[in-house]
Amino acid sequence: MKSVGPATGSAAPVRLTSYARGGGCACKIPPGELEAMVAGLLSPPSAAQALSGDEDRLLVGLEDGDDAAVVRTGDGTAVVSTADFFTPVVDDARDWGRIAAANALSDVYAMGGRPLVGLNLLGWPRDVLPAELAGEVLAGALDVARAAGCLVGGGHSIDSPEPLYGMAVTGLVDPDRLLRNDAGRPGVPLTLTKPLGVGILNNRHKRTGEVFAHAVAVMAALNDKASAAALEAGAVCATDVTGFGLLGHLHKLARASRVTAVVDAAAVPVLDGARESLRAGYVSGGTRRNLDWVRPHLDAGRAGEDQLQLLADAQTSGGLLVAGEIPGHPVIGELVPAVAGTTLVIR
């Protein structure tokens, strides 16, 4: 994409990823730091809440770091609410908008819900990048939201030093058919609905400018059909795989469900070019932090460091990780009874 350079007025390519330190979900605050940050919020309900019964309405909150909050409405339905935003993961503005919208909507699908309305969350360095480019980001997001049947009703914007974009999304979910990350049980297979490797390819794109159209297509794809298939199969436990990588999100699921997860590394789908790019050194800091976080809880077996980094790769708009077998998607492992001190086993 080319646009008019704001400083010179001459036609010049705009590399959005060069305006951000990180990119996509790899720019998340590390999971260990985040958990320490919110630990003080996990206090028991106040006496007033207990008397009113309000604490029973919050079906999913902060406790297990699930994908979205779920609140019972009292009429047999529940509201699912989430927000997600990040710095540019690709240089094409419209593609960035598409990916960011799909990523935000994914949190609703990961809970088994249906998105209703999204609100734009935009940070823009208005003295550095042209407003027309921000319009392209918003247009890309609108395309994906419309494909999801989700309305977009305005939002909020700020002047920020780095470009930021995402959405706050509200949806509906049947409280009796929730997909939660604390509902896993031993003996259930694990299914992954998108291949890994987008973090590695995005890192290569940021550093070299090479475009990986197949990675963009994966990130911009909705998880709506995967969510519907999981519910149809009777699944009750799922999460989506984003910035904490497969190992990070699976660790959270296994810990919340009080089980151990066994991963068959050879069965995990990987995008073309990801392994070669990993060997060439295109690994993000977020991926390394993910692996450091889970390592104390990991039995790596014979897996080498490259394999572990791939499994910890910081994904953006990744697939659903479902405790259950979903037709058309690979089974990558299973949940087994808890092994003391170990939430993850690689075989």
Any idea which residues carry the catalytic annotation? 25
Q: Residue 69 and residue 65: Cα distance in Å, rounded?
A: 9
Among 181, 318, 174, smallest CA distance to 236 is for 181
Is residue 275 exposed (0-12), middle (13-18) or buried (19+ Cβ within 10 Å)?
middle
Residue 270: other Cβ atoms inside 10 A: 16
Half-sphere exposure of 5 (CA within 13 A, CB side): 9
Q: How far apart are CA 88 and CA 345, in angstroms?
A: 33
Q: Which of these, 95, 336, 320, lies nearest to 229 by C-alpha position?
A: 320
| 216-250: b (≥16 Cβ within 10 Å) or e | bebbbbbbbebbebbbeeebbbbbbbbbbbbbbbb
E strands present in 174-245: 189-192, 238-240
Asked whether 316 and 26 are in contact (CB, 8 A), the reply is yes
Q: 241, 318 in Cβ contact below 8 A?
A: yes
